[in-house]
Amino acid sequence: MMKKMFSIVVLFLVLSSFSTQEKIKEKADREIEKFYNIETFSTEIISISVEVNTKMASEFREDNFFKILSRGNFLGYAYIGNAPSKTATFDYLVLFNENFIITKSKVLVYREEYGGEIGSRRWLKQFDGASPASHELKYNQDIIPISGATISVHSMTKAMNNLLQSIGYLRKNSLI
């Protein structure tokens, strides 16, 4: 009986995780459509080997880093990441142009009661224009703090710096 109950719980967690990932992907797709003002687009996954992944601060999975195409035309790159907040995590999207300069960032899912202000477009615009060649973004210098969202602000800043550093590594080694 206990084994059966454990199996049911595991199945529920797996199915919940899948539906959560699908919802995050759907939100990312809507943001991409809105940003590029398009109705349809396709993606081309950029695959990063496990060996290369271990050398970078950001995690590149089979479903979170891709090229964006519309009618055969290249539009840009996208990365979907996850970062810690005080007691949970949040999911975010970063769009890049052809030179890997950030053109948009968006918090897709924020799971905390406090700190959700990091999802405001006004605050996120601070990351626009950053690239792997940029200097490291610093809290309270380049990135404005938000009262009540200190942990999330630090986390998002670190996630963006890690992503830019990782993209820089991939470019320097001709992997993208």
CA dist., res. 132 & res. 68, Å (int): 19
pLDDT in tens, 93-124: 999 999 999 999 999 999 988 888 999 999 99
pTM of the model: 0.86
- Helix ranges (H only) for the chain are 2-36, 50-53, 121-124, 150-172
* Lookup: tokens for 108: 């897709």
Distance of CA 150 to the CA centre of its chain: 19
pLDDT in tens, 3-25: 555 545 444 444 444 467 899 99
Residues 6 or more apart in contact with residue 162 via CB below 8 angstroms: 56, 57, 58
- Under DSSP, the state recorded for 29 is H
